[in-house]
Structures are given as structure tokens and as C-alpha cells.
Amino acid sequence: QGLGKTLQTIALLGYLKHYRNIPGPHMVLVPKSTLHNWMNEFKRWVPSLRAVCLIGDKDARAAFIRDVMMPGEWDVCVTSYEMVIKEKSVFKKFNWRYLVIDEAHRIKNEKSKLSEIVREFKTTNRLLLTGTPLQNNLHELWALLNFLLPDVFNSADVLKPFLLRRIKAEVEKSLPPKKEVKIYLGLSKMQREWYTRILMKDIDILNSAGKMDKMRLLNILMQLRKCCNHPYLFDGAEPGPPYTTDTHLITNSGKMLVLDKLLAKLREQGSRVLLFSQMTRLLDILEDYCMWRGYEYCRLDGQTPHEEREARKLHINKKSIDTFNAPNSSKFIFMLSTRAGGLGINLATADVVILYDSDWNPQVDLQAMDRAHRIGQKKPVRVFRLITDNTVEERIVERAEIKLRLDSIVIQQ
């Protein structure tokens, strides 16, 4: 993460055009949240490369395809995964010189819709960019290699000779260190009551030795995770009406008690904080808290249901990031939902990352930390991970650590 994959790709496409006389057409497939960034980087590094961007609602896309794509006065088409699925018939019409997929672990499941569609395109060369080639198991890595060279990687055994891995320490010697601190904390009285209630309600499932109903079990786990974060995520927990933000917002959650003390200390030290949670509803609670404490903040999460909102949303996200990164910015906290804030967003002006909760997939949390710990960071980065003692959260962190060990055994020598 933050290893310059974007720039290397743009340099390659520029080189092909100017030194090899191969203009394109190329397709660059990226997460929606980074479209803006990719277009900016093309303009910044190789303005002579004609990059166009396919995005928008049905009518906007139809006009773009008719007026821009089909006439072919362009070299590179940048678009998002969602657009490729919606407009696959158009993309099938071209003979692509390079098909580049950013955050390529999105096609790690060879049976997903996106994987199946990109395999149907006519391409001379394929390039996959990812900072996390291994997320859960070796099969996923094989799926990526099988996409690149289907004849060679017809089975998952042929991995070894093809791995060249750059780790951050090699790329930028001057990158300050990153230190993670796990903070174990207890449940509040209210949380304990809710936690017990959830367990008692479904005690029959939890005790059944036979085949468990997986969906119900996952739902219970989700309820327990919500409870560890904040009881107000459940209807009826918050005192009221009238609903007022007061100290009860802090005292009713073990994590909020610790967070409140931690933020006060960090503020004193002049640090700036990225605050991550899996749950957008929890970010709402954190917003109330920040307003109540008078902390200036920005927020970004990954929910964009409608396409007309998309352009506005991208604009708002870009504005939030720029505001936070601006010299002498007064913003103290940037809150993000872990999965949205993960991909390709640069917030290296923050030096503290707080993971309010942990993901089952450790790479998601690592990518979140790398919003701050990346090229451009001037200070050492501190990561605080909040974990509720003797709850489901302990298991999540244990499982994630086992997955990371798999990663280091397989890929990092």
C-alpha cells in the first residue's frame, strides 16, 4: 500500500505510447473511491495520454459511449468495477492492449461476477495491481495468477517462481516506523446486560452440537460485535426521548470510556487521528460525540446507493480528504468506515490510527492503517486497536493473526 502502483502503471502506458508507438486502447479498472485520483494522476504525470472516464447513470453512460468511446479519440478508459458489470457489452467490442485492474484482490474469487466478466474481454496484456495478494488462503492468489496466465496456472501448484514482493521497508528507507498497541477493555454494565440477553435469546443455537444454521450464527456474532462497540446501536438502549448527547454516551460503552481519555491525550500531544469502524451506524454515534466534545472532524464512508449521488459523493469525499490534508488544517479526527477508507486513499497527514473494532480479514485492517503509514508520512505512526476482553472480539483478533502468519509463511520467504 502506498508503494506507487498508480504511478508505475501510468509510466508504463506513457512509455508504450511515446517510445513504442502503442497508444492503446487500454482499460484501467479501479474502485469507485479512487477514480478521481487516477484521473488526476494521469493528468499530472502524462497529460499527453488521453484518459477518459466512464461513470454515471444510464443516460450519462449512453451519451459517453456514443460520443466518446465509440469514436475512439482516446488512449485509456478508466472506469469502476460496477460500470464494467453494467456495460460489459461495450467493453467486449474493443481489443484491449492492456487491461489493468487496481486493487486486484477484488477478483480473488474466480466465480464472482466481476471475475467472470473480465475473463471474457479481448486483451493482449493483463496487469493486476494489489498491495495484498494474499488475504485468506492460497487459492485466492492462484485465482489472480490464473486470470493472468490461464494456461500456465491451470492448477494451484505452480506458484513459487512467480512471486516478487516489494515490502514497504524496501521502497522507502525513510518511512518512519509503525507501532501497534492493543488496548484490552471491559464491557460497561449496560453492555453486559445486552451481551447476556443476546446470548440467552439464542442459547439453543449456541448449544446445538449438530449442524448450526450458519446465517443465524453469523447474525448472533454481528449482534455481539455491535454490543461490544456501543449498546446504542440497539433500539431502546439509549435513554430518552428526549435524546440528548451527554456523558451517558461515553459511560455506557467500555470503548468510549477509553477513546474519550485517549483522544484528550492525543489532542494535547498535537497528533491527528484516523478513526476507523466497520459500522457506519457507529460513525453516527462518534459524530455526536465529536460535536459534543468540540472536536473538528471529517467523515467518509462507502455507502452510495444512487448513481446521481455518486458524483456528489466523490466530490464530497475528495473535499474531505483535501480539507484534512491541507497545511494547518484544524481538523483533528478523520472517521472512516474500514472497508471504504481502505482502498487507495492518502491521509498521510495523520500520525495516529485508532481501530475502534477489528475485521475478520486482517488485510482490511492493515490497509486501513496504511492510509496514514505510507510514502509522504513524516512522523512515526501509532496504531491503537480497541478489543473488548472475554468477548467475540478476542476471537476475531486471534483468527486474524493466524491468517497473517499464513501470509508471512507463504509469501514473505
CATH classification at residue 349: 3.40.50.300
Residue 65: inside a domain? yes
Residue 194: inside a domain? no
Task: Tell me the backbone φ, ψ of residue 79, rounded to 5 degrees.
Answer: -155, 175
Instruction: Tell me the CA distances in angstroms from 97 to 26, 38, 145, 147, 266, one per residue in order.
Output: 5, 19, 19, 16, 50
Give the Cα separation of 332 and 352 in Å (integer).
11
Cβ proximity of 10 and 320 under 8 Å: no
Residue 228: inside a domain? no
Are 156 and 65 in a shared domain?
A: yes
> Which band of pLDDT confidence, cut at 50, 70 and 90, is reported for residue 118?
confident
Give the range of the structural domain holding residue 393, as residue numbers without chain letter. 178-186+244-410
Task: Output the pLDDT for position 311.
Answer: 65
Task: Output the pLDDT for position 201.
Answer: 83
> Which band of pLDDT confidence, cut at 50, 70 and 90, is reported for residue 305?
very low
237 vs 271, residue with greater confidence: 271
| pLDDT tens digit sequence for 144-183 | 888 888 877 776 666 656 555 565 555 566 678 889 999 9
Are 250 and 328 in a shared domain?
A: yes
Give the Cα separation of 222 and 395 in Å (integer).
13
| pLDDT tens digit sequence for 174-201 | 678 889 999 999 999 999 999 999 988 8
Task: Output the pLDDT for position 120.
Answer: 86
Are 278 and 315 in a shared domain?
A: yes
Are 117 and 144 in a shared domain?
A: yes
Q: What is the total count of domains within the chain?
A: 2
The mean pLDDT value for 107-134 works out to: 83
Task: Output the pLDDT for position 114.
Answer: 83
Residue 278: inside a domain? yes
Are 138 and 182 in a shared domain?
A: no
| pLDDT tens digit sequence for 356-401 | 999 888 888 888 888 888 777 788 899 999 999 999 999 999 888 8
Cβ proximity of 33 and 157 under 8 Å: no
Are 127 and 182 in a shared domain?
A: no
Task: Output the pLDDT for position 413.
Answer: 44
The answer, yes or no, to whether residue 342 has pLDDT greater than 50, is no
Residue 197: inside a domain? no
Task: Output the pLDDT for position 334.
Answer: 92
Task: Output the pLDDT for position 406.
Answer: 72
The answer, yes or no, to whether residue 67 has pLDDT greater than 60, is yes
19 vs 3, residue with greater confidence: 19
Residue 236: inside a domain? no
The last residue of a domain, from among 96, 131, 164: 164
Are 60 and 86 in a shared domain?
A: yes
Give the Cα separation of 84 and 398 in Å (integer).
37
Cβ partners under 8 Å of residue 388, min gap 6? 184, 185, 186, 187, 228, 254, 255, 394
106 vs 97, residue with greater confidence: 97
Instruction: Tell me the CA distances in angstroms from 205 to 137, 225, 357, 399, one per residue in order.
Output: 29, 17, 25, 22
The last residue of a domain, from among 164, 196, 227: 164
| pLDDT tens digit sequence for 275-303 | 999 998 999 999 999 999 999 998 887 65
225 vs 308, residue with greater confidence: 225
Residue 207: inside a domain? no
Task: Output the pLDDT for position 162.
Answer: 58
Average pLDDT, the chain: 84
Instruction: Tell me the CA distances in angstroms from 207 to 195, 196, 223, 228, one per residue in order.
Output: 16, 15, 17, 22
Task: Output the pLDDT for position 368.
Answer: 84
Are 291 and 405 in a shared domain?
A: yes
Q: What is the CATH number of the domain that holds 115?
A: 3.40.50.10810
| pLDDT tens digit sequence for 225-246 | 999 999 999 988 887 777 777 8
Cell numbers linked to 185 = 477493555
The mean pLDDT value for 82-108 works out to: 89
Task: Output the pLDDT for position 339.
Answer: 74
Give the Cα separation of 411 and 406 in Å (integer).
8
Residue 320: inside a domain? yes
